[in-house]
Amino acid sequence: CVRRCEEPRLGAVSRHRAAEEVRADFQRRVPYSYLQRAYIQLNKLEEAANAAHTFFMANPEHMEIQQDLENYKTTSGKVNLIDREARQHMEDYSAGVRHYDREEYELAIEFLERALKGYYSEDEDCQIMCEGPQRFEEHEYLDYKAGLYEAIADHYMQVLACKHDCVRELATRSGRISPIENFLPLHYDYLQFAYYRVGDYVKALECAKSYLLFHPDDEDVLENAGYYEGLLEGTVDPATIKPRKEARTLLRRHKLESHLLQVAAAGLGYAYTEPNYWNRYGARQDEHSVPSSISSEPEDGPRLSLTKKPMPKPDRELKEGGPLLYNDVKFVYNSQQLNGTQRVLLDNVISEEQCRELHRVASGIMLAGDGYRGKTSPHTPNERFEGATVLKALKYGYEGRVPLKSARLFYDISEKARRIVESYFLLNSTLYFSYTHLVCRTALSGQQERRNDLSHPIHADNCLLDPEANECWKEPPAYTFRDYSALLYMNADFEGGEFIFTEMDAKTVTASIKPKCGRMISFSSGGENPHGVKAVTKGQRCAVALWFTLDPLYRELERIQADEVIAMLDQEHLGPSEMNINPKDEL
């Protein structure tokens, strides 16, 4: 009925209702990718840089845009890029947290209060936007047989579910699937401590009580609230200080929505599971655990409500220090010495002669852009990237294009590396290959002057690194099934190319490793270990890159085929006609 009313005034539906594909493109900010190219053609570099940055904020895994941004910084000197689709409440929250971390508490309060105001305004808009036609996702529309009252109830339950999910929507950055955990309560958590630090104990107590609406059993904030009440004794009656009205209203509404959805689910016969919207694993990233760690604070001052958030929260007990299995392998540094978690540096994993032999194999089997759909410079235009898989090496060995013994060496040393990683990190279950790649990066002559890019940008191996949010989102297109990574280096006769670990900001370097023959760095693949490679400015840098998984479902298919080939080769009586090798150059 509504649509029939719209058509005479607004024209055909296609003129005023966007198709799902178009909506998805706008959600992913695809128009800004086109805008960037258009601005380049018009020689408007500043606008092009801002368009690229806007696209990149929703697509942080997009390597080409990342390189474009580095080029803009070099050519135009533009450093302060503008996200044209930024949500102001998110920007204010991030600014408030940055000021808090610098102990600039007045500014932190200003931005966090502004963020809260923006949040509640956005929440109102989100609620309104849910009032509209719904998709009836649980039903095939053409076969929908419900009567009028069921259809009305179904429609309003979907509207209600949409409104209920505004909490998640407002905590989710553009282009991401996962929200910032505990987002709204964290505003009050930061504020209660910031107000305490500036001496406003009334506001500190008010914010502490607001936080406790969401987490009434949080022992640290309960202690804080009691401490603030003690500071106010004799001046203000603490009982008169209530949690903030807007927090009470939102939480009351949210609980009622949840109740109605669960009742409706039971009555209308569809499945509904209430998500955990206020996950307390989202925590303030504080250096100190109590204010008394700062000399000017009293011993019985309030605690910070949450300790530093584990990144990520481990789904298994993390251990290290197990046996290295081989006498010639030399231990160099552990996690603590490398300033991180689940890291190890080893030397002499392979010998000088094995390095030379691997290098000879590499020169005979590697293909430019292997593993990156043939892109010869997937990470930086200043280097050429080449690679090859284990199965390809064995195929070439069998065909006589490279020595079979050398091809077999690639297979054997990767298995040696897997065994060492599995043993050192004391894993209770089998570690499987997820991907094995022999890779070389070569500096291109004439393109090395004044380079300020990286050979491989800072990233994590099983999640999408988001430095702005200080998060790593474990969601596609990241290889979320990867658990451990290792890099086994083959040479040192090149310039640059250091492997680096950084903080979550992708800027602060925590460890730098110079590659050399036989050296191996291994680490867990999550957001706790952001890493990259500095520019290779002269020569060629080669390594065996290995990724592992604890989930047998994600075993490397080429590796399974390679295992079969090795088993056949070990049976001396087999002839060429009995072997069936079918390698894929790309996974």
CATH number at residue 452: 2.60.120.620
pLDDT band at 467 (very low <50, low <70, confident <90, very high): confident
Q: In the structure encoding, which two tokens stand for residue 329, read together?
A: 């392998």
Main-chain phi, psi angles of 422, to 5 degrees: -60, -40
3-state secondary structure of 424: helix
The arithmetic mean of pLDDT across residues 515-527, rounded, is 95
What's the pTM value of the predicted model, to 2 decimals? 0.60
Q: Does residue 98 sit in the same domain as residue 77?
A: no
Residue 575 lies in a domain: no
The arithmetic mean of pLDDT across residues 283-308, rounded, is 40
Residue 287 lies in a domain: no
Give pLDDT, residue 302. Answer: 52
The predicted-structure confidence for 217-263, as pLDDT tens digits, reads as follows 988 899 999 999 999 988 999 899 999 999 999 999 999 999 998 88
Given a cut of 80, whether residue 171 has pLDDT beyond it is yes
pLDDT band at 380 (very low <50, low <70, confident <90, very high): confident
The better pLDDT of the pair 177, 522 is held by 522
The enclosing H or E element of 505 equals: none
Domain boundary among 217, 243, 268: 268
Q: Is 541 a catalytic residue?
A: yes
Q: Does residue 151 sit in the same domain as residue 236?
A: yes
Cis ω for the linkage preceding 477 (within 30 of 0):
yes
Q: In the structure encoding, which two tokens stand for residue 263, read together?
A: 């009742």
Residue 553 lies in a domain: yes
* Identity of the highest mean pLDDT range in 99-113, 270-284, 377-391: 99-113
If one counts every other C-beta atom within 10 angstroms of the C-beta of residue 264, the result is: 19
Q: Does residue 334 sit in the same domain as residue 242?
A: no
pLDDT band at 584 (very low <50, low <70, confident <90, very high): very low
Q: Does residue 79 sit in the same domain as residue 95?
A: no
- Mean pLDDT for all residues in the chain: 83
pLDDT band at 61 (very low <50, low <70, confident <90, very high): low
Burial 330-343 (b: 16+ CB within 10 A, else e): eeeeebeebebbbb
Domain boundary among 268, 296, 322: 268
Residue 291 lies in a domain: no
Main-chain phi, psi angles of 471, to 5 degrees: -135, 165
pLDDT band at 288 (very low <50, low <70, confident <90, very high): very low
Given a cut of 70, whether residue 290 has pLDDT beyond it is no
Name the domain count of the chain. Answer: 3
The arithmetic mean of pLDDT across residues 16-39, rounded, is 86
Give the residue among 156, 151, 161, 155 at the shortest CA–CA distance from 126: 161
State which residues form the domain around 28: 24-86
Residue 3 lies in a domain: no
d(CA 29, CA 55): 5
pLDDT band at 66 (very low <50, low <70, confident <90, very high): confident
Q: In the structure encoding, which two tokens stand for residue 215, read together?
A: 């987490």
3-state secondary structure of 140: coil
- HSE (CB half, 13 Å, CA atoms) of 137? 7
Given a cut of 70, whether residue 388 has pLDDT beyond it is yes
Give pLDDT, residue 137. Answer: 53
**162-171, 331-340, 441-450, 505-514: range with lowest mean pLDDT:** 441-450
d(CA 114, CA 127): 20
The arithmetic mean of pLDDT across residues 126-134, rounded, is 83
If one counts every other C-beta atom within 10 angstroms of the C-beta of residue 234, the result is: 7
Q: Does residue 387 sit in the same domain as residue 519?
A: yes
CB 143 within 8 A of CB 27: no
Residue 521 lies in a domain: yes
The predicted-structure confidence for 393-449, as pLDDT tens digits, reads as follows 888 888 888 888 888 999 999 999 999 999 999 998 899 999 999 999 999 988 788
Domain boundary among 235, 251, 268: 268
Residue 487 lies in a domain: yes
Q: Does residue 114 sit in the same domain as residue 81?
A: no
Q: Does residue 337 sit in the same domain as residue 250?
A: no
3-state secondary structure of 496: strand
The better pLDDT of the pair 556, 297 is held by 556
Give pLDDT, residue 242. Answer: 95
Residue 77 lies in a domain: yes
Catalytic residue among 284, 303, 451, 541: 541
3-state secondary structure of 543: strand
Q: Does residue 373 sit in the same domain as residue 408?
A: yes
Given a cut of 90, whether residue 487 has pLDDT beyond it is yes
The predicted-structure confidence for 326-347, as pLDDT tens digits, reads as follows 999 999 999 999 999 999 999 9
Given a cut of 80, whether residue 41 has pLDDT beyond it is yes
Give the residue among 192, 210, 186, 170 at the shortest CA–CA distance from 88: 170
Q: Does residue 420 sit in the same domain as residue 542?
A: yes
Q: In the structure encoding, which two tokens stand for residue 113, read together?
A: 């209060």
Q: Does residue 493 sit in the same domain as residue 547?
A: yes
The arithmetic mean of pLDDT across residues 493-518, rounded, is 92
Q: Does residue 61 sit in the same domain as residue 179?
A: no
Give the residue among 507, 556, 513 at the shortest CA–CA distance from 530: 507
Percent of the chain with pLDDT over 70: 86
**197-201, 280-284, 426-430: range with lowest mean pLDDT:** 280-284
The enclosing H or E element of 21 equals: helix 20-27
Q: Does residue 57 sit in the same domain as residue 122?
A: no
pLDDT band at 89 (very low <50, low <70, confident <90, very high): very high
